[in-house]
Chains A and B, each alone.
Chain A
Amino acid sequence: MIALLLRDLKLALRAGGGFGLGLAFFLIVTVLVPFSVGPQSSLLSTIAPGVLWLGALLACLLSLDRLLALDWEDGSLDLLATAPLPLETVVTVKALAHWLTTGLPLVLAAPFLGVLLNLPVPGFLWLVVSLLLGTPAMSVIGTFGAALTVGLKRGGLLLSLLVLPLYVPTLIFGAEVARRGATGMETQTPLLMLAGITAATVALLPFASAAVLRINLR
């Protein structure tokens, strides 16, 4: 289990592993936003929490099609399925590795990008907190989508189509926390909802992902 996690982290960090691509995408999206909506700092600070959440979500989405596809192509998934490790564990570990290499860096980068968009000062804490709570759900849901589309050629676009609607609740509550935090409103309700959705997703969805992966492997 730890071996699988370590291997995935190592693979992500080595050349060609794609680590940092999500971060770069996040940066570019954030930089492009003022170009498209105009440089007024009041407008930017209003939309900053939402834009950063959306940017993080899309950056996360971008890396999903590699999550299982590489292991599928080289036969690793077949071998893992015959190993003593249950597939539920495999998909959970894969999601964890994805979160560590994609979600967590996004969370850490978000405050710096918040500066670019003139995010109000109280918003920084809530942005980080909401992303920290929301990104694990994004990785787990993404793993489910990746498991659904793993055997398909050109599965990448389909993956986005399948995963984005599933991201709606997380996005709504997560961005709500960041938005309310930025304007100094109370954040407890959406924060609890976000935490609840993440907890339930992380606990239950790996079973669906493993089931789907089993179907795809046969």
Chain B
Amino acid sequence: MSIAAKANALWEYANPRKFLATSERVMPFFWVTSITCIVVGLVWGFFFTPDDFRQGSTVKIIYLHVPAALMAINCWLMMLATSLVWLVRRHHVSALAARAAAPVGVVMTLIALITGAIWGQPMWGTWWEWDPRLTSFLILFLFYLGYIALWEAIEDSDTAADLTSVLCLVGSVFALLSRYAVNFWNQGLHQGASVMRAAAVTGADTEEKVSNVYFFPLLVCIIGFVFLFIALVLYRTGTEIRARRIKALLARERVSG
């Protein structure tokens, strides 16, 4: 089996039937793994790790905040990839996967924002701080909203897929630009916030003992969220495919009837 043949085999999932059959087979595995990982990670993180000497028990929101934030960004990257596949190879499943992923991404972004605010309240003394990272997520949230709204607004499926794909490409460039702009913009105002944030959020604490204690349950949570994301997207893509098939059947009936 050469690599080329394997790559070809991948494209077979562009067939909706094949995609549905396979995804239904593997989905239970993803559900079980993700729920197990999340439960284990959260219990471990909440009850079996010490409180941070500076942040107390509030640090433990990290087990929701960081995985959600990671998924929020990865979801957009996945939409970017599937949009490109749609534009280049015109596989409908790819476009529908992007459509299915967007609401998952927007919820992940929202979780990251809300947990960030809850975390920020005792730490920074305010529910909202225009911290560059939080601000970037707020902007990402707006991009998600626009993307979903455009999908909803257009009736013709292929046109919607084309337009949202281009929006996703252009949006990615502008989201990246915004990220740099926001960094630049807030640096001038208050630099202090970033030091604490970098230590707390990345898990790369300078004191390795502390870092490891939090890092492993966090890793388990992240793995759990990754599988949860995959399961949700597969499930929603299946729904989109069926909705699309119904639409196609109705259209066919109109033509023949």
Contacts and interface: CB of A to CB of B under 8 A. Distances in A.
Interface of A: 144, 148-149, 151-152, 155, 158, 161-162, 164-166, 168-169, 172-173, 176, 189-190, 193, 197, 205, 208, 211-212, 215-216, 218
A211 B143 contact: no
A161 B170 contact: no
B188 A162 contact: no
Interface of B: 139, 142-143, 145-146, 149-150, 153-154, 159, 162-163, 166-167, 169-171, 174-175, 177-178, 180-182, 184-185, 188
Nearest to A197: B177
B150 A148 contact: yes
B170 A205 contact: yes
B166 A212 contact: yes
Nearest to A179: B188
A218 B174 CA distance: 27
B170 A208 contact: yes
A162 B166 contact: no
26 contacts: A149-B153, A152-B154, A155-B153, A161-B145, A161-B149, A162-B146, A164-B142, A165-B174, A166-B174, A168-B181, A169-B180, A173-B181, A173-B184, A189-B184, A190-B184, A193-B184, A197-B177, A208-B169, A211-B166, A212-B163, A212-B166, A215-B159, A215-B163, A216-B159, A216-B163, A218-B159
A204 B149 CA distance: 25
B166 A168 contact: no
A70 to B, nearest CB: 20
B153 A168 contact: no
Contacts of A172: 178, 181-182, 184-185
Contacts of A168: 139, 174, 177-178, 181-182
Contacts of A176: 184-185, 188
Contact of A169 (B142, B154, B177): B177
Contacts of A189: 184
A205 B142 CA distance: 20
Contacts of A215: 159, 162-163, 166
Contact of B139 (A151, A165, A212): A165
Contacts of B181: 168-169, 172-173, 193
Given A152-B153, A152-B154, A158-B153, A165 B182 contact: no
A148 B163 CA distance: 7
B170 A165 contact: no
A169 B153 CA distance: 26
Contacts of B163: 148, 212, 215-216
Contacts of A161: 142, 145-146, 149
B190 to A, nearest CB: 15
A165 B188 contact: no
Given A168-B139, A218-B159, 13 more contacts: A148-B150, A149-B150, A161-B142, A161-B149, A162-B146, A165-B174, A168-B181, A168-B182, A169-B180, A197-B177, A208-B169, A212-B163, A215-B162
Chain A to chain B: the 7 pairs with minimum beta-carbon distance, closest first:
A172-B181, A169-B177, A169-B181, A165-B142, A168-B178, A162-B146, A215-B162
Most chain-B CB neighbours within 10 Å: which of A149, A189, A215?
Answer: A215
Contact of B178 (A149, A169, A216, A218): A169
Nearest to B170: A208
Contacts of B174: 165-166, 168-169
B189 to A, nearest CB: 10
Nearest to B179: A169
A152 B163 CA distance: 12
B184 to A, nearest CB: 7
A166 B171 contact: yes
B79 to A, nearest CB: 15
A165 B146 contact: yes
B162 A158 contact: no
A30 B164 CA distance: 35
Contact of A162 (B139, B162, B167): B167
A166 B181 CA distance: 12
A162 B166 CA distance: 12
Contacts of A193: 181, 184
Contacts of A211: 166
Nearest to A163: B146
A88 B104 CA distance: 35
A133 to B, nearest CB: 15
